[in-house]
Amino acid sequence: MDFINAFLPYILADIEKTTPDAIRIADYLPYILAGISVGGQYALISIGYTMVYGILRLINFAHGDIFMVAGFVMIYLSATLPLHISAVFVILITMLLGFVVERVAYKPLRNAPRMSIMISAIGVSYLLQNCAWYFTSGLAKQYPEIPWISESITIGSATTKIVTILTPVLTIILVAALVFLIKYTKIGMAMRAVSKDFETSRLMGIKINTVISITFLIGSFLAAVASLLYFTNYTTVTPVAGAMPGLKAFVAAVFGGIGSIPGAVVGAFIIGICENLIKGAGWTTFSDAFTFALLIIILVAKPTGLFGEKSTDKV
């Protein structure tokens, strides 16, 4: 970080000399940084959507709310436990929640029409939100300040929190680990097989339910990590706090081509950066609208997304 700090002013000064007044990167730098950071958080959430879709052809509407619950769990745990221990428990409890949701609400509907399981997912989403209303009385709760990652750091002309820099780095590391898992391990091979053909996978001796549970555990793990990074930036959690980031991560997954992990990550970074650049240009009101306009354009122009499979149906 010191290294970047030492050189960035010179680099930026250099750019400024050669660019006309109209475009000044230095002015936009804070927004680009914030965009990359929020993009990383969306990316971590969107992987949960895209993996579950890849394997079950289900849009897990409850995923954003699982992310929200992770936020509240952190608030309640950190009231009594040290922060680093709370963070570990937040991750474990969120994974357990994802696992239980799948077993209780989705597994019994394995052979039901796809629409039924989708509606079950919407039900779980509202259930989690309403439980959160009940336990918090609907009040916004203060998210604990996590030392070190909440500290300020100055990069060139921009002052930001360390979490802004940490997020994209952590995102890339986790995604790389996940891609390795899927491509080179036995369980990863089983996940790819199950996502293509349930019945033949069963004939190979693969326990479908175990593989699906693992998918939900991974998705919830990443959502929990995202919640630690995201709420540190936003300071409060409300029962509907999962809705917006959840929806945006979903748009990112569709944009990248739902079912594709690299697609979801690229889509999330693009959406995060664009949103913040729009804010930087002074159109904050329209930054959310942009994301959803993008969803409509993608669905009309290229429904399979950037990296989507050509045929989305099972062979």
Partner 1 sequence: MLKITDLKVSYGGIEAVKGISFEVPEKSIVTLIGANGAGKSTTLRSISGLVRPKSGKIEFLGEDITGKDAADIMAKGITLVPEGRRIFPDLTVLENLKIGAYLRKDDLTDDLNWIYDLFPRLKERSWQPGGTLSGGEQQMLAVGRALMSRPKLIMMDEPSLGLAPLVVRNIFDIIKEINRQGVTILLIEQNANMALKTADIGYVMETGRITMTGSGEELLANEAVKAAYLGT
Which residues of the shown chain bind partner 1 in the complex (CB under 8 A)?
186, 189-190, 192-193, 196-197, 199-200, 202-207, 315
Alpha-carbon span 259 to 50, nearest angstrom: 5
- As measured in angstroms, the least distance from the Cβ of 202 to partner 1 is 4
- As measured in angstroms, the least distance from the Cβ of 207 to partner 1 is 5
- As measured in angstroms, the least distance from the Cβ of 94 to partner 1 is 29
- As measured in angstroms, the least distance from the Cβ of 259 to partner 1 is 11
Name the residue nearer to partner 1 (CB basis): 115 or 203: 203
Name the residue nearer to partner 1 (CB basis): 204 or 296: 204
Name the residue nearer to partner 1 (CB basis): 257 or 272: 257
Name the residue nearer to partner 1 (CB basis): 19 or 210: 210
- As measured in angstroms, the least distance from the Cβ of 64 to partner 1 is 29
Name the residue nearer to partner 1 (CB basis): 151 or 197: 197
- As measured in angstroms, the least distance from the Cβ of 225 to partner 1 is 28
Name the residue nearer to partner 1 (CB basis): 84 or 202: 202
